[in-house]
Every structure is written in C-alpha cells, then in structure tokens.
Chain A
Amino acid sequence: MANRYDDKKFGEVVRDYVRGAISRRQFIVRGAQLGLSAAVLAKLTRPSRAAANLVDSDPASPYESPITPERVAFLKTKPYKGTTINVMVLKATVGDGLKYHVPHWEQATGGKVNVAEVPIETLHTQIFSDLSSGLGKYDTYMTGAWFYGDFFVPKDPYIVPVEKFIADPKHSYWDPDQWLPAMRKLYSWNEKVYGVLFDGDAQALYYRKDEFAKKENQDKFKAKYNYDLPAPPKTTKEYHDVADFFTGWDWNGDGQKDWGISLHAKVNEQGFFHFLTLSAPFVVSPDNKYYFFNPDTMKPLINSEGHVRALEDYVKFLANGPKEEISWTLGQGWNLFLDGHSATEPTWGDLPTLAQDPKTSKVQGKMGAAPLPGTTEAFNPITGQWKKYDLNQVGNTNGGSWHCVISRLSKKQEATYDFLAFMANKKNALFNCTTGWTGVQPGMKFEYIPPMGTGKVTDWTGANPPWNEDDVVEYLKAYYAVLAAPIQQEYLRIPGAAEYWHDLDINVSAVLAGQIKPKAGLDATAAAWEKVTDRYGRDKQKALYKASFA
C-alpha cells in the first residue's frame, strides 16, 4: 500500500468522486492509500443525496448545470407560474449579482421575482423592522453573516432551515457538503443549514509578488535584516520587517515614495476587520478557540493580554502607510495597492477581483496571495497563559458572506427556496464568483482549482472580465488555505453582534488615532460589551454563544 501523498493523484481521486465516477467508499479507500486519514476523509464525505443521477444540462433550464431528471420534469410544468416572491437585497455588488439570475429563473419556472434594493446602511433595520413588526412583506432577505444571532432571539426563530428543501430533487441541485467547513458554519445554526450558498468572505494577505521576486529587493532586504525576504511573510515579526522594508522609498519607479502596507481603517465602515484578522493568531490557537467571550461566564475576552499585545502590534503598522488611512474607506485602501503604491494589503477577495480590471488596476498579473501571518507565541485568555508555537496561523471567515435566508413569515417558502437554490447551482455559483462586479467570493470546493478543488482555471480566465491566470492560482490557493485552515477564528453570531463590533470598532479607531492607549481602549470595549450582554440577558447570550459554535 503506497503511503506517499501525491497531490496530483489525490486531485484525480477527488474529481472522480465529485463527478460520481467512484463511490464514497472507494474515495475513502483510495485517499487512505495515498496516506490521508480515513477518518478525516469519511467526515468530509458525509453522504447527502445520490449524486449519481445528475445530468450535465438540459434545455429546460439552460442556466443550470448539473441538473436532476426530477427537476427537468418539474420545470416542464412551469410550477411557479402566478407566484411572485419578494426579495430584499443590498443595492450594488452582491445585490446586482442576485438580480442577474432573476430573469433566468423566471424563464425556467414561470415565477416572478420582485427585488427591493436597499442601502447597506439600512439593511439590518429594514430586515428586522419587517420581521419584528409582523409585516413580513419579504419572503427572503439578503443577510450578512453577523445578523444570524438576531434571527434566533425569538422562541420561534425568524428564519427557517432549508434541509428539507435541499433533499427534494425537484429543486436546483447544490451540495452543502461542498462547503469548506468554516464557511458552512456561517450558513448554519445548531448544525442545521439555514442559508443558501451565495458569497463566502475571508481576509487574506495580498502582496506584490513581482516586487518580492526582484533580486535587488531581495538583496537589499537580506542586507538589512539578515534573512531572506519572505514571500510571503509567515510571522508577524516577518510582516513588520517586510512592511518596514517597503516603506519610505520609491520601489515602483514612479517618483513617489511608496508604502509597505495599505489599510482601510475607517470607523463604522468594516475597518475593524483588519484588527480582528491580524489579532487572531495572538489569541486563537490549537489550545484555545475563543476570541470574543468566555463561554462559561460570558465575560468579554477582548481585553486579554493577548488582545492588548495584538493591538499594540497592529498600531505599529500605521507607520507603514499614509497617516490618512485611519479614515480610509474600502475603495481608498484598495486603491493604494491597485495603483501600485503599497507592497501588501490584508483584505478581502475584492482586491484581486478589482485587480483584474485595467481601468482601476495597475497590478494585474502581479498578485501574490497567502494566509495572514501567524505568531510564534499565543495567549490563552481562558487559562491566562502564554504558550510558544513554531507557527500559529489562524484562518478566518471575516466579512459579510452575504446570502439569502428564508423568512418564517413567508407564505411561499418552497418557491423562494427554489430561486435561492437556482443561484446556488454550480453553473450559477461559478458565474457569481468568477465575475468581478457581483462581489461574490468562493466558498465551495468546486469553485477552487485542483488540487484543492474541482474547478477549472478556464472558469476564471474565460470570465468577463477575464482573470489573469497567475492571479487566479495565487488567489484561490490562498483563499482555500484560509478557509480550510484547521485553526479558525470564530465568527461572532449572537444577538447584538453589530453593537459588540461597533464598540470594538470605535475603540480601535480611537487607538489608531492616538486618542487612547491600546489597553484602555480594549478595557473600554469590554465594559461596553458587558452592558450589551446585560441588556440582551446574560444567560440567553451564553446559550446562544455556545449554540453559534455548532
């Protein structure tokens, strides 16, 4: 029995399994032959429905692939003729992505979709006003992953699980087992799936591969720091060195001094995710998965020694970017990198996506991507101990991961699900994540290219606008690594998540502006969090916090 792991061979095994050419049992056997743990493989291939009777496509629904024969038959009856479903989405990016699929679904099923687009400012208010007032005008809402806690406050949650719909072959085919586990969690609650695939956000480190590869830069770096320029930096210390190295001189040849790291740290505008992502390896480790709260007492962990050190560390990065970046919105932060003035940026997949557009980017083909640096020493806030590690790197699912959930008040849940599943079907989902303007990032294995996934590079290089092949490989490789990392930063999904994050946001922003010291800022955050927890009810929050991990 061969015990050596062979990337290429495993890729083939995976492909065969997904296409239904080999059975689950054969997959486990072959994977084990290549040296992988049979137990892990078994877990990854939790059986769902039989994939065997899928066909590649059918003229009944030209935008679905693959498709079940039951669905083909179902569609012939134009089943949703006379039914209108009401959808509330975000205006722009992901909302546009959803709108794209509307006419295709209407054509295939006879139904109608009524889309209401609201600004991101008022989405949360609109959703919960509609639900809590009983008005229930909308069947489904496009929601951010951090809204989930709020859905589960009432005894009868505001949203319905979708597993019974998934099992029904007459709806569009998509497989929740294809999710990378960290992403699946965001769509589930208490092990039940509530959301239908759409967007999958995570932050990664993006850097100028070309600049890191230049011999003169490497020589200069080695001369200054006595080790090779790490491409990419693997520890926080290395990241600081890299950022310092690229700051303050003109390495891109345009006559202006350039920078080591670009941040979009504006308050009230998702800037605090930088801190969440960069601080994770200081606190999350193989020995501790809790970042926000102590699960037994519901006391905030946010002002632990590890968090404080992480914030002090984060502040040091300010020297590697323009002073103004503490007030930069997303576009401004990305622009510094896309215009070629910054060597790195820790942010979302929007960056490599926007990099493909020659109108906004000078760095197409130059993207390097990697998981964010880790630490060599992490703090366990539960036990209060520091511990050394060779390299503690932490994955994350930070971001919105926008997707639709079905309202309990909806009278057309099945039809609504049908539309959502349509967009989750492989062909449509691939369109979403390869097409830049949708703002959708990949979360399912078929969206990644081998050896991690089962997709094809041509899905991306053939999209409109087309991706540069090197960029795609870098991006997907890093993104996958972030999402599939065994140690993950938790995602806060309890009621009031927006408020907890806001309190952290304003204090981190104040620290960045020099208005308050890191420890004081995090202490203030913890105090504010206690008030929020008390308002929602400590015991209730504790129960929901524990449930959100499942």
Chain B
Amino acid sequence: MINVLWTRAGFRSRLFIQVLLVAAAIFTVIPFLWSAVNSVKTVSETFRIGAFIPFLQFQPTLDSWREVLADPQTSIAFINSCVISAGTTIFALILGVPAAYSLARYEFPVKSSDIALWFLSQRVLPPAVVLVPFYLLLVYLRLIDTWTGLILCYSTFNLAFVVVVMRDIFRDVSTEIEDAAKVEGATPWQIFWMIALPLLLDGLVVSSVLVFAFSWNEALFASALTSQAATPFSALVLASRSTRGVDFNTAGVNTLIGIVPPVIFYLFVQRYLARGLSFGAVKG
C-alpha cells in the first residue's frame, strides 16, 4: 500500500527516504556479512588485523562450514529447534488466542487488564531464577531432554505475548459484524471462530512471529533441560566456547545457519502484516 506521502513527495524527498532505507538495510546486513567473513577464516585469521576482505586480504577456507555441517548434532539440533519453536507457537496460540478474546470481550470478577498484567508478569523473572524448580518439575514428569518438556516451559513463558498482543487487537476490532451475526442467531463460538478470528490474522502473525523468535533464541533452559536428544540449536551455539575458548569462525557459521528457519518462517508470514493492526487507535 503506497502512502500518499510518497506519491506526493518531490524527488529530493524520495531520494532522502530511499537513502535512509538503504542505510538501515546496510546497517542490518553488515553483521551478517561479517559473520560470513569470519566463517571462512582460520582461527588465527579471526584475530588478524586487516583480514576483512576474503581473497584480497586472506585466503578463505570452508573448514569451519564443513566441521559444523558434518557434525550430526548440528542437524539434530536444528530439527529440535524447529519442532520446539513451532510446537510452542502453535500451543501458545491455541491457549492464548481464546483467552485474549475473552479478556477483550467479557467482564470478569477481576479486571481484565489486571489479568493481562498477570500474564505479562510471567516474563519478568529472569529464567535463571526459576530454572531449578522447572528442572525438578520436568524430572518428576519424566520430561527431561524431550521436546515436550521444552515446549511446556516455553509455552508458559510466551503465552504473555499472545495474550497481550491479541487482547489489544480484539478490543479494537469492530463489533458491528459480530452484533449482526448474533442477531442472525450465531453462537458465540461461531462468532469467535468464523468472524472475529479471520479479521485478526495480522495479530496472529505478529504474535506467532514473536513466540517463534523467542523460543528459537532461548538458550538457558535449552542447555540446562536437555543434554542430547532434544538439544536445540541455541544450546549448540553455546558450545562454540570449549576448553580452548571461543571459536569465532564456528560462531560465524552458527550465526548464519541459526537464522535460516526463523527467517523462512518470517518471510512466509510477513506478507500478512501488510494489512495492519491498529491497536485501538482507529475504529475500522
């Protein structure tokens, strides 16, 4: 959707805007390029002054890539992360969206904004504080080193995103259509499922992107609650540090590999963002 401000803008304004955008893009892309450069260096070259441009200033090598990709644990961790993040996202949506809807539409004995605040408070505590009780809980449930165990933990902590984001969206959406449907005799469930939800796709996209990204990135629970079978990729990246310190070329490889699945997910869903949310700013 092209904004009228753009169509009306003169050449100088347009140029300025494009320059800013390109600058932002370059700023964003540079660390990825640098990761790539590091990933084709030997360990000693990662410390060499003036080894910025491959081929010109140093001889690149694919050793780190080979090492990481040949390690069976890499692909296992990758799959684990995908499953866990996707599972968390789906589960958080299943639990969170209905809850958000009801908080937006109905009255409860406790003020609904306070309930939302309570959900949000789950994100306040640093995970290190509650790690041990969760570990013991998972031991009790026999869920150590399993996908389910991590999905369980992550859903709990990421529900907040879904509830808070979706509640504000629901509160904003026009209820005229819903009222009309009610007049026609639709059940509340039908209203929720077939009318409200589709209008809020964008909200779903934002929430799911956030939940996926946060699950993907989480490293502490990942490395403490799994040891082998369910180890996610984020825990594997921690292992760039060994008894010999950090291998910066391996870290470079890990940065680049690690971004692939969530970005694919993002690219896939981000076109739905175009329709936009307004969070109660404008009545549609």
Consider the complex of A and B and state whether they touch directly, i.e. have CB atoms less than 8 Å apart.
Answer: yes
**Interface positions of B from 207 to 249, Cβ below 8 Å from A:** 223-224, 227-228, 235-236, 238-239, 241-248
Q: A329, B246: Cβ atoms under 8 Å? A: yes
CA distance A542 to B235 in the complex (A): 37
CA distance A118 to B245 in the complex (A): 15
A sample of 15 cross-chain residue pairs with beta-carbon separation below 8 angstroms, ordered by A number, consists of A91-B236, A92-B243, A116-B227, A118-B239, A119-B235, A119-B239, A119-B242, A120-B242, A121-B241, A129-B135, A130-B227, A137-B227, A138-B227, A331-B46, A335-B44
With contact pairs A117-B239, A339-B44 given, residues A137 and B145 touching in the complex (Cβ less than 8 Å): yes
With contact pairs A360-B42, A361-B44 given, residues A118 and B227 touching in the complex (Cβ less than 8 Å): yes
Q: A119, B42: Cβ atoms under 8 Å? A: no
Mark each residue of chain A from 329 to 347: 1 if its CB lies under 8 Å from any CB of chain B, else 0: 1111001001100000000
Question: What 9 A-B pairs have minimum CB-CB distances, sorted nearest first?
Answer: A330-B245, A92-B242, A116-B228, A119-B239, A329-B245, A91-B239, A119-B238, A360-B44, A331-B245
With contact pairs A94-B243, A119-B235, A329-B245 given, residues A135 and B144 touching in the complex (Cβ less than 8 Å): yes
In the complex, chain A residues whose CB is within 8 Å of the CB of B248: 331
Mark each residue of chain B from 124 to 163: 1 if its CB lies under 8 Å from any CB of chain A, else 0: 0000000000011001000011000000000000000000
CA distance A90 to B47 in the complex (A): 25
In the complex, chain B residues whose CB is within 8 Å of the CB of A239: none
In the complex, chain B residues whose CB is within 8 Å of the CB of A129: 135, 224
Asked if A359 is at the interface (CB within 8 A of a chain B CB), the reply is: yes
Q: B139, A91: Cβ atoms under 8 Å? A: no
Closest Cβ neighbor of B47 among chain A residues: A335
Q: Which of A133, A138, A339, A439 contacts B136 (CB 8 A)?
A: A133
Asked if A402 is at the interface (CB within 8 A of a chain B CB), the reply is: yes
CB distance from A356 to the nearest CB of B (A): 13
Chain B interface category by residue count: 20 to 34
In the complex, chain A residues whose CB is within 8 Å of the CB of B224: 122, 125-126, 129
CA distance A338 to B43 in the complex (A): 11
CA distance A31 to B145 in the complex (A): 56
In the complex, chain A residues whose CB is within 8 Å of the CB of B47: 331-332, 335, 339
**Interface positions of A from 105 to 162, Cβ below 8 Å from B:** 114, 116-122, 125-126, 129-130, 133-135, 137-138
Asked if A264 is at the interface (CB within 8 A of a chain B CB), the reply is: yes
Interface centre among A91, A93, A339 (most CB of B within 10 A): A91
CA distance A269 to B89 in the complex (A): 36
**Interface positions of B from 79 to 126, Cβ below 8 Å from A:** none
Closest Cβ neighbor of B144 among chain A residues: A135
Q: A118, B43: Cβ atoms under 8 Å? A: no
**Interface positions of B from 170 to 188, Cβ below 8 Å from A:** none
**Interface positions of A from 314 to 336, Cβ below 8 Å from B:** 329-332, 335
Closest Cβ neighbor of A266 among chain B residues: B245
CA distance A91 to B248 in the complex (A): 15
Q: B223, A118: Cβ atoms under 8 Å? A: yes
Interface residues of chain B, those whose CB is within 8 Å of chain A, are 42-44, 46-48, 73, 135-136, 139, 144-145, 223-224, 227-228, 235-236, 238-239, 241-248
Q: B228, A331: Cβ atoms under 8 Å? A: no
In the complex, chain B residues whose CB is within 8 Å of the CB of A125: 224
Interface residues of chain A, those whose CB is within 8 Å of chain B, are 88, 90-94, 114, 116-122, 125-126, 129-130, 133-135, 137-138, 264, 269, 329-332, 335, 338-339, 350, 359-361, 400, 402, 439
With contact pairs A121-B238, A135-B144 given, residues A90 and B43 touching in the complex (Cβ less than 8 Å): no
CA distance A89 to B269 in the complex (A): 40
Q: A90, B243: Cβ atoms under 8 Å? A: yes
Q: Which of B44, B73, B145, B243 contacts A120 (CB 8 A)?
A: B243
CB distance from A98 to the nearest CB of B (A): 13
CA distance A417 to B211 in the complex (A): 45
CB distance from A492 to the nearest CB of B (A): 18
In the complex, chain A residues whose CB is within 8 Å of the CB of B43: 331, 335, 360
CA distance A329 to B224 in the complex (A): 24
Q: A332, B245: Cβ atoms under 8 Å? A: yes
CA distance A65 to B179 in the complex (A): 85
CA distance A136 to B132 in the complex (A): 16
Interface centre among B223, B235, B238, B244 (most CB of A within 10 A): B244
CB distance from B95 to the nearest CB of A (A): 28
Q: B243, A137: Cβ atoms under 8 Å? A: no
Known: A91-B239, A134-B139, A361-B44. 8 other contacts (CB 8 A): A114-B228, A122-B224, A122-B238, A126-B224, A129-B224, A329-B245, A331-B43, A331-B244
In the complex, chain B residues whose CB is within 8 Å of the CB of A339: 44, 47-48
Q: Which of B73, B145, B223, B244 contacts A93 (CB 8 A)?
A: B244
In the complex, chain B residues whose CB is within 8 Å of the CB of A359: 42, 44
CA distance A113 to B239 in the complex (A): 21
